[in-house]
Structure 1
C-alpha cells in the first residue's frame, strides 16, 4: 500500500507525541485529560489515517482487508516508518494495533471479504451511496453520512448475528462508501473518527458495568478465567472454587470416600468455616454441557423440604480443554448414612435415601425435572428412575400419573415391612423377583406371616415393646394395594395414609393380571445377587414405621413436582 500521504496531508499529531515507551501509558501529551483518554485519541487518529490506505487497497483489489499476516506486518512497519519521520514515537503502531485485525477473515462482519460479498449481502446500493456524495467538510452532510454508516452497520450485524463484530462492520461501511477522491480524506477522518469515538465510549461503559457486576459477586463466585467459565447459577447456591473442595476433602483422599451415589463418587469434607459437607464428583450424567448443568443446579437449589438433602452449591472446572470440564455438587452431610444400612445388609445401594443426625429420612440425588436455559419447563420422553420402583405404565409406556408415585410409595412400604429389596434376581421362581409379586402371592395364599419380617414382631420377651401384628399386617396390605399393577385399583395417597393410620378400612386386595415377574426378567449370564435376609437388628414400633412412611411419601411427591 502507498502510505506517502501520511507525510503530505495535514493531520493533528499532538495526541500521539506523549508515548515514548509502549509499557508506560502514563506518558501522554499535556492536553490529554487521562492516560486512557490520551491513548484512545491517539489510536483513533492513527486508525483513521491508516484507513485511507485500506480504502485505496479496497478500490484496487476489491478486498476489504490485507491477504495475509506478513503483508499486514509489513504495511504497519511502513506506516510506523512514516510516523517516525514526523518525530513521533517509534512504537505507536505496536501500541495501537494488532496486525491480525487487518488480515482478511471469514469470521468477521457477516463473512464479508470482498466487494462481491458486500453486494451479495446488502445489494448493489446502500444508504451510504446517497448520504455520502456531498461535500463532507460541511458538518450537516458529515452527520448524515455518519448516520448512514451506522444504518449499514446495523444491517450487517442483523445478517451476522454477532454484536461483537460491530466495530468491524462499521469500519467496512466506511471503506465501502463511494465518494470522490477529492473528498476521500475528509470522509475517512470524519466517519471513522465519529464512529470509533461512539464505539469506544460504548466499550468503556460496558467494561465499567462488567467490572461493577464482577466486584459485587466476587465473594460468592470466586475468581475464574472469563473465557472458560460456564454460566453461573442465579440462585442462592454457592459457587465453590475447586481449590476449596480439594482442601475440604484433602484432595479427595480415599480416607474421605463415603461411597458411590447416583452418577458420581461422594467424599466427606470440611469447609473452611468448619461445616461438614458431602462433595459429589459427577462421573456419569445425562446432562449435556455446563449451561444445562447450571440450569439443573438452579432448580434443585430452590427445592427446600425437611426430607430433601439440601444442595449447598456446585463447582465446574475446566480440565484440559472444552468438553473436558469436571462438575461437583456440594450437599449437607448426612451423618447416619443410607437408610438401607439400617434396613438391609451392607451392600451397594441404589436408593438414595439418607438419614440425618435426627434419623430423619432425606432423599439425595433428586432433580429429575429439567429446565431449558430460557427458563421454560422441559419434559423428557426418557424413562428415568430406579428399577423396581417404577410403575408398570411408566416403565413400559412412559405414561406418568399421580398414581405412578403411589406405586413407588407402595414398594417402599413393602421394603420396610418385609426387609427385602424391591428387585431381587436371586429369589428363585420368576414370580418372586419383584417384591410386589412376591408379597401379593403370599397374601393371596393366606401366608401373610411369611411376608412380615420376623424382627418387626420379635418382642424379645418384652410384650411392651412388641409391634401389634394387626398393624403390621395392615401396613403390608396398604403397600400391596398401592403397588397394584392396575392404575385404577390403586388408592390415592391421601386414602393410603388414612388406611395406615386406621381411619378407614383397607379394602380386599383385588386380583392381579399376569405377574410382572416374568422369565424375561432373568439374566442370561447367570449372574445373581445375594439374597437380602430379614431384618436382624432394627425394631420399629408402628408409630415409627408410619412416621417414616409418611416422610418418604412427601419426598416421592416432591420428586414429581
Structure 2
C-alpha cells in the first residue's frame, strides 16, 4: 500500500505540468510568415511575426476549448509547459526560439475571472453573452476568404466583441477579442479550429500558400544534405583527386 501511495504522489507533478494541447498542427496546416524565419527581422512584441505566433497558439487554445469547454489553461505551470511544447514545434521548422518568449506570456493564458468579464468556460459565455448570437449564424460553416462568408463572420465577431463584451468591460479589449475568436473557432464552426478556413479567416493566417508539413520535409532534408550528402560528395571528390595524383606520379616514374 505504501508503494502505491508514493507512486501516485510522484505522478501528480507530471499531471499538473503536462500540456493538454497537441501542437502538431503547426507542421500540418497551411501558413507561412517569412519574417518568422528571417534572422534579421526586428524582434518586437508588435511585429508581424508576433501576430502570426499568437494566431498559431490561439488555434491550440480553440482546440482546447473544443475538447474541454474551457477557454484558457488551468494554471501557470500548464501554460509554461504549453509554451515549451509550442516552441519545440516551431523550432522543428527552424523558427528561432526567441519568438515564443518575445510574443507570448505564459501568465496571460491562465484562466481567471478577471481575464474578460468573468468568462472562463462555455457555460460562463452562455450565461453572459447567450447561446444564440450572430457568431453562431455567420461563423458556423464555410468561411472562404474569396466570398462574403468570412467577412460576415468577422463582422459578427466584431459586433459581439464591441457591443457585447466591451460594453461590460472596457479595460479588457484584447482579452475579450481573443475569447470571441476562440468561441467562433473552437465552439461554433463545424469544421473545427484547425480547418483551413478557420485559420485563414478568424485568425488571419493567410500568408503565401505553403504547407508547413512540406516545409518541415524540406527542413529535415536540408540537414541531410548539409551533414551527410555534401560531406560525402566532398570525400568522393577528394578521393578521386588523390587517386588521380597517385596515378600521375606513377606514370611519371615509369617514363
Give TM-score, length-normalised by structure 2.
0.65
Separation in structure 2 between the aligned mates of residue 56 and residue 62 of structure 1, nearest angstrom: 10
* Match in the other structure for 1:74: 81
- 2:168 aligns to what? 159
Aligned position for 2:128 = 121
For residue 191 of structure 1, the aligned residue among 177, 184, 202 is: 202
Deviation at 1:188, TM superposition (A): 3.7
For residue 38 of structure 2, what is the aligned residue in structure 1?
18
* 1:179 has 2:189 as partner: yes
Which ranges of 4 or more aligned residues in structure 1 deviate by more than 3 Å? 35-39, 182-185
Write 1 or 2 for the structure with the bigger share of strand: 1
SS at match of 1:110: coil
Instruction: Tell me what 1:337 maps to.
Output: none
2:149 to 141, 153, 161: 141
1:88 corresponds to: 95
1:157-306 matches, within 5 Å, as 157-160=166-169, 163-177=170-184, 178-181=188-191, 184-185=194-195, 186-193=197-204
- 1: CA distance, partners of 2:51 / 2:82: 18
Any conservation in 2 of the 1:2–1:53 contact (CA below 8 Å)?
A: yes
* Unmatched 5+ stretches in structure 2: 1-20, 206-255
- Give the equivalent residue in structure 2 for 1:3: 23
The TM-score normalised by the length of structure 1 is 0.31
Q: Is the 8 A contact 1:73 1:99 kept in 2?
A: yes
Tell me the CA shift for residue 189 of structure 1: 3.5
Query: 1:97 Cα deviation (Å)?
Result: 0.7
- For the residue of structure 1 that corresponds to 2:204, the secondary structure is helix
Deviation at 1:182, TM superposition (A): 5.7
Which of the two has higher C-alpha Rg? 1
Change (3 A) 1:157 1:38: closer
- Answer yes or no: is the 8 Å Cα contact 1:132–1:145 preserved in 2: yes
Match of 2:47 in 1: 40
Aligned partners of 2:43 and 2:81: how far apart in 1? 28
Aligned ranges 1:94-493 → 2 under 5 Å = 94-139=101-146, 140-154=148-162, 155-160=164-169, 163-177=170-184, 178-181=188-191, 184-185=194-195, 186-193=197-204
Secondary structure of 2:112's counterpart equals: coil
| Aligned residue number for residue 281 of structure 1 | none
Cα RMSD for the two superposed structures: 2.0
- TM-superposed deviation, 1:18: 2.7
Would you say the 8 A contact 2:44–2:103 is kept in 1? no
- TM superposition shift of 1:70: 0.6
